[in-house]
């Protein structure tokens, strides 16, 4: 049976996986309206679980208590769902794809030229198309893993559309959406990786 994560935990845990971030990104990552996210954040802040930093790096982040509370509640959610083994198996398949994704991100940023490595200035459409083609292939295999994750815990269903959106944007010509923006394929992928590790209580 699918588990539905309460909104406050969804916001708290998403913040745990994204690291310090702003309201807009949290809304995109949780799939909730910004006003809802803000309301949850204010309640979480009143409970001492999240803090808002001001200054040049203004952002929302977890307090030490928030981190501990998240670890407890996320572990309890998994225990109640009883899908730990399925999630662990899906993590293994994710970890098989992870080095390949990082290779692809590197190939998107750098390219080998006569034994040396140079910055990919995206002036060679044929090369970019070849890398992108492999991104699409990897994304297809990642989709299967995302389905398994979502079957184990419903909230993992939020990653698939975000990855697909990033890839669609790259293919439409927004080259920063592969590795270089806060909504890029790489960024979403890294958040999913973090989510899997924290949900299963695996230290880095």
Partner 1 sequence: MSRVHTVSAQLDEPAASIGAKARGLAELHRLGLPVPAAVVVTTEVCRGVLGTGRLPDGLVEEVTSALGSLPQQVSVRSGAADSMPGMMRTVLDVAVHPGGPNAPLADALREVFTSWDSPRARTYRTLHDIPHDRGTAAIVQVMVDGARDDHSGSGVAFSRDPNTGAPAPFGDVLFGHRGDDVVSGRVRTRPLGELAGREPAVWAALTTALDRAERRLRRPCYVEFTYESGRLWFLQLRPAQVTGLAALRIAVDLADDGLIDRPEAVRRTTERDLDRARTPTLAPTGADVVAGQGIGACPGVVSGRVATSADAAVRYAAGGPVVLVRPETSPHDMHGLAAAVGILTTRGGPACHAAVVARALGRPAVVGAADLDVDPVAGTVTTRTGTLAEGTVITIDGTTGQVVLGHAGAVVDDAGPHRDRLLDWADEISGDHTPRPGPDRLHDAHTALRTEENR
Q: Which residues of 49-62 are buried (b: 16+ CB within 10 A; e: fewer)?
A: bbbeeeeeeebbbb
Based on the shown chain and the rule CB under 8 A, indicate whether residue 100 belongs to the binding site for partner 1. Answer: yes
CB of 178 to partner 1, least distance (A): 9
Based on the shown chain and the rule CB under 8 A, indicate whether residue 149 belongs to the binding site for partner 1. Answer: no
- Pick the closest to residue 199 from 53, 21, 22, 71 (CA basis): 71
Kindly determine how many residues on this chain lie close enough to bind partner 1 according to the rule CB under 8 A.
51
Residue from 85, 115, 125, 173 that binds partner 1 (CB under 8 A)? 115
Residue from 4, 141, 161, 168 that binds partner 1 (CB under 8 A)? 141
Give, as ranges, the residues between 11 and 40 that touch partner 1 (CB under 8 A).
16-21
Q: Which two tokens stand for residue 188?
A: 């979403």
The helix-helix angle for 185-199 and 159-171 (nearest 10°) equals: 160
Is the Cα torsion angle 146, 149, 150, 156 positive or negative in sign? Answer: negative
Based on the shown chain and the rule CB under 8 A, indicate whether residue 179 belongs to the binding site for partner 1. Answer: yes
Based on the shown chain and the rule CB under 8 A, indicate whether residue 203 belongs to the binding site for partner 1. Answer: no
Please give the Cα distance from 86 to 91 (Å, whole number): 9
- Under the rule (CB under 8 A), what is the footprint of partner 1? 16-21, 53, 55-57, 59, 61, 96-97, 99-100, 102-107, 109-110, 112-119, 130-131, 133-134, 137-138, 141, 179-182, 184, 186-187, 190-191, 193-194, 204
């Amino acid at each position: 049976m699918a588990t539905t994560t309460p909104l406050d935990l969804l916001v708290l845990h998403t913040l745990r996986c994204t690291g310090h971030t702003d309201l807009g990104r949290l809304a995109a990552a949780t799939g909730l309206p910004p006003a809802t996210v803000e309301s949850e954040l204010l309640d979480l802040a009143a409970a001492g679980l999240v803090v808002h930093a001001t200054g040049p790096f203004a952002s929302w982040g977890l307090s030490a208590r928030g981190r501990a509370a998240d670890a407890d509640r996320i572990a309890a959610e998994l225990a109640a769902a009883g899908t730990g083994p399925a999630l662990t198996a899906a993590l293994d398949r994710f970890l098989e794809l992870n080095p390949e994704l990082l290779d692809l991100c590197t190939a998107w940023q750098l390219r080998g030229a006569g034994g040396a490595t140079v910055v990919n200035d995206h002036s060679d459409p044929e090369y970019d198309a070849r890398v992108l083609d492999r991104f699409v292939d990897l994304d297809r295999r990642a989709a299967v893993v995302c389905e398994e994750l979502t079957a184990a815990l419903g909230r993992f269903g939020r990653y698939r559309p975000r990855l697909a959106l990033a890839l669609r944007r790259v293919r439409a010509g927004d080259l920063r959406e592969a590795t270089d923006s806060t909504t890029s394929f790489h960024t979403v992928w890294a958040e999913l990786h973090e989510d899997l590790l924290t949900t299963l209580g695996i230290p880095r």
